[in-house]
Amino acid sequence: MSHFTNNDFIRCWNDILVPKWNRFRHILSGNGKNHSDIAFEYANIKEGQKILDVGCGYGETCLELAEKVGSSGKVIGIDCTTSFLETAKIELAESRHKNVEYILGDAQDHPFQDESFDMAFSRFGIMFFENRVAALKNIHRSLKVGGQMMLIVWRGLEDNYCWRVGKEISLKYLTQPTKVGSTCGPGPFSMADEETCRDMLKAAGFSKIDLFKQNDIDVIMGRDIDDAIEMQLQVGPSGEIIRESGEHGKSMIPKIREDLKKELEKYQRGNEVWLPSSAWIILATKE
Ligand SMILES: C[S@@+](CC[C@H](N)C(=O)[O-])C[C@H]1O[C@@H](n2cnc3c(N)ncnc32)[C@H](O)[C@@H]1O
């Protein structure tokens, strides 16, 4: 059991991760979209539905869902990070959608109305919750009977060279921190194991799992080589290793940068850098 509370994680998102996400939004949202574009092909979204988007970030998927449910439908996005939702609200006002609302809150225990949603959706959100079963239970409670939940979660680091590349190179020069000072939650790979994930879904009440699909695709990890290198230096497993190694970490950046350049150049398509990734697309029904 972690010594962190969800509030620590929420503080980490608000205080530490916001500038990094703003800086690399084009990559983080870009590789998210590479996966959700495929996931949406499996979601049976109909006009008029009411959909909950959990950990909606900048609300990009809320706007896509709003398009799918049409003006007779509704999308509620919930996120714990104030700044992401401020951006989401500005972009919503600039869009033509009138059927989206944002809630600033902790999706793990937010008092959603019972049985009020036709569908719940989360793109790379749920893995960060301190108690994922409690969060899934809360989502389950908020779904109508027959309602579906779609989750997109990363598979393991071993299957995600897009995140592993920086870690492998950083660990040539630095050691894995044993104690991480601040963290955004159990982490992006906390739902990577299929059996554990199925057990969590079952414990939350999702006895009917309709789809558990491995989605292996290349994703965009930089609009050019420098962009891709900076992103690996600041975000993800390598960003954490460097940050937690303090001054020593900073002093190793030139060497890590050089190695990253050599490796990432192999993955360039034109200027852009595309790397292999793997996620689960999960669809479950509330019976
Ligand atoms: C990896 S980001 C994904 C954002 C968005 N779904 C996307 O795909 O672009 C995870 C999001 O979950 C949010 N989050 C983390 N813990 C949360 C919690 N307990 N309640 C609500 N949102 C949370 C973070 O603020 C962040 O926006």
Q: Which residues contact 179 (CB under 8 A, 6 or more apart)?
A: none
Share of the chain above pLDDT 70, in %: 95
d(CA 287, CA 285): 6
Measured at the alpha carbon of residue 243, what is the angle toward residues 237 and 248, in degrees to the nearest 5? 120
Residue 3 pLDDT level (bands cut at 50, 70, 90)? very low
In a domain, residue 17? The reply is yes
In a domain, residue 132? The reply is yes
* 234: pLDDT strictly greater than 60: yes
The CATH number of whichever domain residue 46 belongs to comes to: 3.40.50.150
Higher-confidence position of 5 and 229: 229
Give me the pLDDT at residue 257, please: 98
DSSP string, 263-283: HHGGGEETTEEEEEEEEEEEE
Residue 139 pLDDT level (bands cut at 50, 70, 90)? very high
Helix 246-264 to helix 161-173 angle (10° resolution) is 130
In a domain, residue 244? The reply is no
The 10s digit of each residue's pLDDT in 200-219 is 999 999 999 999 999 999 99
Structural domain boundaries enclosing 91: 6-158+182-221+278-285
In a domain, residue 128? The reply is yes
User: What amino acid is encoded at 10 in this protein?
Assistant: I
User: What amino acid is encoded at 56 in this protein?
Assistant: C
Half-sphere exposure in the Cβ direction for 101 (13 Å, CA): 8
Q: Where are the alpha helices (DSSP H) in 49-127?
A: 60-69, 82-94
In a domain, residue 170? The reply is no
Give me ligand 1 centre to Cα 80, in Å.
Answer: 7
Give me ligand 1 centre to Cα 129, in Å.
Answer: 9
Name residue, tokens 């029904």. Answer: 285
d(CA 228, CA 188): 19
Region 256-280 average pLDDT: 98
pTM value is 0.94
Give me the pLDDT at residue 2, please: 39
The 10s digit of each residue's pLDDT in 99-136 is 999 999 999 999 999 999 999 999 999 988 888 999 99
Q: Which residues contact 101 (CB under 8 A, 6 or more apart)?
A: 74, 75, 76, 77
Residue 198 pLDDT level (bands cut at 50, 70, 90)? very high
Give me the pLDDT at residue 1, please: 36
108 Cβ below 6 A of ligand 1: yes
Region 45-58 average pLDDT: 98
Domain count, the chain: 1
32 Cβ below 6 A of ligand 1: yes
In a domain, residue 265? The reply is no
Residue 180 pLDDT level (bands cut at 50, 70, 90)? low
Give me ligand 1 centre to Cα 27, in Å.
Answer: 16
In a domain, residue 238? The reply is no
In a domain, residue 99? The reply is yes
Nearest CA to ligand 1 atom 2: 125
